[in-house]
Chains A and B, each alone.
Chain A
């Protein structure tokens, strides 16, 4: 069964607004990663947060991790139309196990 579950499944916002996506998982993890997928393309790595970290920033991205609740959130600030894509969380249980992906959140940013 899949490890991660994203919430919401779909999100539609106006350009300039912030977008928040959540991810829950079931087992202990080594790290949690967020990926982006444009329609019909492969996934692109955005940001990684380790199990001993609580928050991480990269440009307009902010990721939080709460291991006690087994959840993470991805915040995209000041969204742009070009941010329109699907966003996935992926968890790694140990260094030698494949990443397990959630079901993704479809983000639409309206200009």
Chain B
């Protein structure tokens, strides 16, 4: 098992709420990623970071933000949750020069 942790594991919230999904890794990896996985299984890249104070947008980033103040921590924030945000959110990391990704167990978000 990889040392990458996501909290909460499950979250049910109402429309319009602001939420932050947490992701932390203890492997010292510089590169971190957020993917959204829809019920049909396809993974969409939301945001990624190649180090502290570096963040980039992916294909599906317009309704969320991220920050990378510490190497080990890469939280994802939805400013105003909507039912269309209901999905599984997966955080992943890899070292600089590394090829394979290590994934957390995911956060299953339901927005009512």
Contacts and interface: CB of A to CB of B under 8 A. Distances in A.
B74 interface: no
Chain B interface size, under 10 / 10 to 19 / 20 to 34 / 35 or more: 20 to 34
B58 interface: yes
B50 to A, nearest CB: 8
A75 interface: no
Interface in A39-90: 40-45, 48, 86, 88, 90
Contacts of B102: 45
Contacts of B101: 33, 35, 43, 45, 90, 99
Given A31-B99, A98-B33, A98-B58, A42 B43 contact: no
Contact of A42 (B58, B99, B105): B105
Contacts of A43: 90, 92, 101, 103
Interface residues of A, number: 25
A88 B100 CA distance: 13
Contact of B48 (A41, A42, A86, A98): A98
Contacts of B100: 33, 45, 48
Given A35-B101, A42-B4, 14 more contacts: A31-B99, A40-B108, A41-B105, A42-B104, A43-B101, A44-B103, A45-B102, A48-B100, A92-B99, A95-B97, A98-B33, A99-B101, A100-B45, A104-B41
Interface of A: 2, 31, 33, 35, 40-45, 48, 86, 88, 90, 92, 95-96, 98-104, 106
